[in-house]
């Protein structure tokens, strides 16, 4: 009976761990049409919630951008580091951020500094 209960507890623990979603950040080539129409081309940084459990982060810069994603407690931390680009032309970079239910907050940092950003909700 003890072995059965131990096995049952381990199975429940394993299944609950499998249900949690890891946070991920992926660069994309383009936005879905309804999201693209909602953004302001003049804003440097925007976050769009597509109500699908993920966010689009739209960042415009004349620099090359490197990204990193960290999680700390209930915060998803997105780091955008700019480095001078050869062209000097402003370009739009798009990222898709997927978070789990444990991530209740998002902190976006540009060159190490937390920045504010507008959030657009699209249905």
pLDDT band at 1 (very low <50, low <70, confident <90, very high): low
Domain ranges of the chain: 22-121
Mean pLDDT (the chain) is: 82
Model pTM? 0.77
What are the C-alpha distances in Å from 19 to residues 10, 12, 40, 103, 116?
A: 14, 11, 36, 14, 31
- Count of residues in the chain: 123
17-60 residue pLDDT tens: 444 557 899 999 999 898 899 999 889 999 998 776 789 999 99
């Amino acid at each position: 009976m003890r072995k059965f209960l131990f096995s049952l507890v381990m199975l429940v623990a394993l299944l609950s761990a499998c249900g949690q979603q890891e946070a991920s950040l992926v660069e994309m080539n383009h936005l879905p049409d309804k999201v693209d129409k909602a953004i302001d081309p003049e804003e440097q940084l925007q976050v769009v919630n597509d109500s699908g459990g993920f966010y689009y982060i739209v960042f415009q810069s004349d620099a090359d951008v490197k990204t990193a994603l960290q999680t700390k407690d209930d915060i998803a931390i997105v780091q955008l580091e700019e480095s001078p680009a050869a062209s000097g032309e402003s370009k739009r970079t798009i990222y898709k951020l997927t978070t789990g239910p444990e991530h209740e907050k998002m902190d976006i940092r540009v060159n190490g500094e937390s920045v504010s950003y507008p959030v657009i909700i699209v249905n």
